[in-house]
Amino acid sequence: MAFSVANVRQDFPIFERTIRDGKKLVYLDSGATSQKPLSVIEAESNFYKFHNAAVHRGAHQLAEEATDAYEGARLKVAKFLGADEEQIVFTKGATESLNLIAYAMGNAEPGTRFALTSKDKIVVTEMEHHANLIPWQQLAARTGAQLSWFEVTPDGRLDLSNINAVITENTKVVALTHQSNVLGTIIPLKAIVARAHAVGAVVVLDACQSAPHMPIDVKELGVDFLVFSGHKALGSTGVGVLWSSELDDLPPFLYGGSMIETVTMTAATWAPAPRKFEAGVPNMAQAVGLGAAIDYLTAHGMSNVHDHEMALTKYLIEKLLQVPDLKIVGPTDLDSRGGTVSFTVGEIHPHDLGQYVDSQGVAVRTGHHCAWPLTRKLGVPATTRASIYLYNDESDCDALFDAILGAQKYFA
């Protein structure tokens, strides 16, 4: 299918509405959450209308249909990532996926593969979202393991100059974002994976900001765990993905129904992965919605989505750099970056700027973007962030540009 933004926009009901007294909705906050095509909204609603039943349990037709729909979504996610079905766990979101990994490691029997002690090291980066920092801080606190990190350079890249000193023989886990949700930076993953594996560490990749925007193949990436959230990838809220080739060795995190093999009054054994990580009735309709989102993205082609976003990122950066006093926080070239662009504008506080551009119909995000250590390191209290997706076009970037110029006059 030839990629056309005009056609894409027609699939998203939300773009039919106007905001702030009849203005066109300019949505540049997809890094926070994406809008949803009608096919996703209908897939979720049709699940409730026609097939609703608890998956994996009932001996009736609805339960069978619900299970087929839920497992069908798992297969779609697996194909999307170049993975096997049994390597996909549905969670509530990326935050839960990351907590699951960290808690499960904390539950590992001493001496087993994923058990950590005070002799071990967990490595993160300064550009992590809190969701991929705090679970590791907590795991370090519970096990006595040492937390260390890669620093960020002033131009928003990961500093790998001391890679062998950061990832040492004692490192057990390297957890890092694929693409920064603040800077747009894509990290040099190959070198990190090579070093991590050379010392026997596993690599946990937070693909929240990459999987929705570019083709992903877990085998090519070479990581051991990968997570992302459905709602940032055109899918429903309340569903996330955890992929791993290491699930068999990882103990469960949540205990309860559906994740067991046998249970007595005093003990239980676990079902094979992925079931052992999906205790309780899961977010079924949401998983089905994510399946529909993946169908939508796949029909357009992830390479087309990525190409479109890169062309638009170039346009957005060039446009923003024409604004007097505007400073981009993060890479200003297109090399290893995605369509998330953070910036400051002179002395205007990002919150004031965000409010003003909103009054013009432009939705951006302001603040520290759940990456407080990063904004602190870069010496900015907060930034304004524009993040694009397949439904944005040049007119959205123009609207942001005009709104910023308007803010400069307003706050002068």
Enzyme catalytic residues: 370
Pick the piece of the chain touching ligand PLP (CB under 6 A) from 18-26, 125-133, 158-166, 291-299: 125-133
A 10 A CB-CB count for 144 gives: 11
Do 227 and 243 contact (CB within 8 A), yes or no?
yes
Please report how close the Cβ of residue 338 comes to ligand PLP at its closest, in angstroms.
11
Query: How far apart are the C-alpha atoms of 231 and 116, rounded to whole Å?
Result: 32
Does 206 engage in binding with ligand PLP (CB under 6 A)? yes
The four Cα atoms 239, 214, 371, 277 give a dihedral, to 10 degrees, of 30
In the chain, the amino acid numbered 161 is S
Query: Which of 186/328 has CB closer to ligand PLP?
Result: 186
| 365-379 residues labelled b (16+ CB within 10 A) or e (exposed) | bbbbbbbebbbeebe
Please report how close the Cβ of residue 184 comes to ligand PLP at its closest, in angstroms.
11
From 51, 76, 121, 129, residue interacting with ligand PLP (rule: CB under 6 A): 129
From 34, 87, 125, 209, residue interacting with ligand PLP (rule: CB under 6 A): 209
Query: Which of 127/403 has CB closer to ligand PLP?
Result: 127
Lay out the site mask for ligand PLP across 2-31 (x = CB under 6 A, - = otherwise): ------------------------------
From 143, 177, 366, 375, residue interacting with ligand PLP (rule: CB under 6 A): 177
Do 282 and 230 contact (CB within 8 A), yes or no?
no
Lay out the site mask for ligand PLP across 83-112 (x = CB under 6 A, - = otherwise): ----------xxx-----------------
How big is the site for ligand PLP, counted in residues (CB under 6 A)?
14
From 28, 116, 131, 166, residue interacting with ligand PLP (rule: CB under 6 A): 131
Half-sphere exposure of 21 (CA within 13 A, CB side): 3
Does 34 engage in binding with ligand PLP (CB under 6 A)? no
Nearest of 318, 288, 339 to residue 34 by alpha carbon: 339
From 181, 344, 375, 384, residue interacting with ligand PLP (rule: CB under 6 A): 181
Query: Which of 149/356 has CB closer to ligand PLP?
Result: 149
A 10 A CB-CB count for 221 gives: 19
Pick the piece of the chain touching ligand PLP (CB under 6 A) from 38-46, 126-134, 164-172, 211-219: 126-134
Please report how close the Cβ of residue 57 comes to ligand PLP at its closest, in angstroms.
27
Does 387 engage in binding with ligand PLP (CB under 6 A)? no
Q: Which residues make up the interface to ligand PLP (CB under 6 A)?
A: 93-95, 129, 131-132, 177, 181, 206, 208-209, 229, 231, 370
